[in-house]
Amino acid sequence: MLPITRRLLASAPRRLQAVSLRPSLALTAVARASTPSIARGAFSTFSKASFAAALSKDKAYTADKYPHLQRNQEFKKLTDDDLAYFKSILAPSALTQDEGDLEAFNNDWLQKYRGQSKLVLKPSTTEQVSQILKYCNDNKLAVVPQGGNTGLVGGAVPVFDEIIISTANMSSIRSFDNVSGALVCDAGCILEVLDNYVAERGYIMPLDLGAKGSCHIGGNVATNAGGLRLLRYGSLHGTVLGLEVVLPDGTILDNLSTLRKDNTGYDLKQLFIGSEGSLGIITGVSILAPKRSKAVNVALLGVSSFEQVQNAFKRSRDELSEILSAFEFWDKASIDLVKQHLVAGANDPLESEHPFYILIETSGSNKDHDDEKLNNYLEGLLTDDVVQDGVVAQDTTQFNNLWSIREGIPEACSKTGAVYKYDLSMPVPVLYDMVQDMRTRLSDSGVLGEGKPVKCVVGFGHIGDGNLHLNIMAEKYTDEVTGLIEPFVYEWIAKQSGSVSAEHGLGLMKTGALHYSKSPSMMKLMRRVKDMIDPRGIMNPYKFLP
């Protein structure tokens, strides 16, 4: 790493010593890869086989932990006749009934939710999905669409015995326009595979997640996943050009447009972006891939307060503007967990500890131009004592090492114990107040600290879009701890006119919290849409809407 310091240091990576007397920046040659790949965090080694092996055999079912949820008795139970029909349209390998194999599909990544499905179907074509859904709808068999199963709110696993329809066998890239950057692909394509594909052609996927090595693009769209570069490329509501969706009655809604502009009627694809499998199954995606930047810089900075985090962000918008692609932050408690549990922690390039950390990425087309802008920006931060320490990556390895610290935080949290995860959005000035208020509440209640039920509370996330990831690590999930967190966290967010879910979705976890972010009239209209498209209620029941 190249330290940020007043003196021109040798090009070999060095940590920055304590800086005094309003230092300026000397930014020497910084090497960049033209298409750097982000080091992945919590989900990079996810596999259904290893995941299933790790599950506890006596783990409680979701239905046992949420007794207020009752199976809809109008839903039919699976019969031999049903199996015979599915076997008539799918290859034997596309049906999973083995109890051991089913475990990975019935459980979420956090091992917090566990369903009781007896069947997983893996269609390979849109027509097969259509046949399956029509049959299920006619026979009132409840279903759960499932992609990479990397969700964090229980949206992709059954509550009871719903049939799981996996997109794992739908992984073809249908077309790519090298002029416009429009990519058309199956819903089961893995995000990282797509990113590598377009990278070879000089483009980049507009979405980047820690789960990119496992998550499916269809699931990304169905949950309206946000990710690390929403600041630069916007949300999927803007980058998705068209969708192919199978409705509950088997109707194929073919809207795989590659047009940037189409002002003909309702933009129906928007209904399915973020619908979490409650209205149909996305089978195809048309998405706009931006050109890949030729010059990429990444800097890691240590700062003394959240106020200074905000100051650095405001100045980044003013001084880096068009080349700013990511602005992430995390607190000291987060980096402490990474150092404790992950190899990435050993790569911390800052010699001293800081209350807060900032990771800034710039992406542009002109190396000299970007260097000068970043140079001036960092020099100003140091001169005005906004930051106390920092480094700039000099090559792809260092680039990935810096990102791996940020992306390793969720995995480090999961290695600490049971994790209560809250994905929240709110005005940036009050963002970290949520973390402090939660710590105070748990501490005052006598449950936070060494030898107590709650181990620690950490805050990290995307400053650029006001998205806080609040993670609370406990010995295990208990009613006592849950009761102290909820509904306090949702009521707090409602007072700030924020959202109870910035990017993870509602799933099962936040179904009852929707009213904190949506008015009664909006919820009523959402219910009317659901009832119109899925009148028999077979699509991902018990979730999303109260």
Percent residues over pLDDT 90 in the chain: 80
Domain boundary pick from 99, 131, 166: 166
**What DSSP state is assigned to residue 216?**
B
Q: What string of DSSP letters covers 382-446?
A: HHTTS-SEEEE--SHHHHHHHHHHHHTHHHHHHTTSEEEEEEEE--GGGHHHHHHHHHHHHHHTT
pLDDT at 47: 40
**Residue-level pLDDT at 5:** 53
Q: Kindly state whether residues 148 and 198 are assigned to the same domain.
A: no
Q: Between 398 and 45, whose confidence is greater?
A: 398
Same domain assignment for residues 247 and 328: no
Question: Could you report the per-residue pLDDT of 41-79, keeping only the tens digit for each?
Answer: 333 333 444 334 444 444 789 999 888 999 999 999 999
Same domain, 181 and 226: yes
Q: Count of domains in the chain? A: 3
- Asked if residue 107 and residue 239 are part of one domain, the reply reads no
Please report the pLDDT score of residue 492 as a whole number: 98
Q: What one-letter code names the amino acid at 158?
A: P
Query: Which DSSP string do the residues of 344-355 spell out, in sequence order?
Result: GGGG---SS--S
Q: Would you say 371 and 23 are in contact if contact means Cβ atoms under 8 Å apart?
A: no
Rounded mean pLDDT of the chain? 89
Are both 278 and 347 inside the same structural domain?
Answer: no
Average pLDDT over residues 368-390: 94
**Domain co-membership, 452 together with 331:** yes
Average pLDDT in the 278-291 region? 97
Shared-domain flag, residues 226 and 156: no
The answer as to whether 118 is a domain residue is: yes
Bridge-based pairing of strands 163-166 and 120-121 is parallel
- In the block, residue with structure tokens 């490329």: 233
Comparing 55-69, 166-180, 367-381, 505-519, which segment has the lowest mean pLDDT? 55-69
pTM: 0.86
Helix (H, G, I), strand (E, B) or coil at 270: helix
pLDDT for 21 beyond 70: no
Angle at 33 between CA 29 and CA 35, to 5 degrees: 150
Residues 340 and 414: their CA atoms lie apart, in Å, by 12
Measure CA of the first residue to CA of the last residue in the chain; give whole Å: 50
243 and 354 together in one domain: no
From the CB of residue 67, how many other CB atoms can be counted at a distance below 10 Å?
7
Domain boundaries, position 128: 62-166
Check which CATH number belongs to the domain holding 86 and give it. Answer: 3.30.43.10
Neighbours of 535 (CB within 10 A): 11
Q: How far is CA 399 from CA 195, 471, 515, in A?
A: 17, 26, 41
Rounded distance between C-alpha atoms, residue 406 and residue 330, angstroms: 8
Amino acid in position 380: G
Which helix (H) or strand (E) element contains residue 197?
helix 191-199
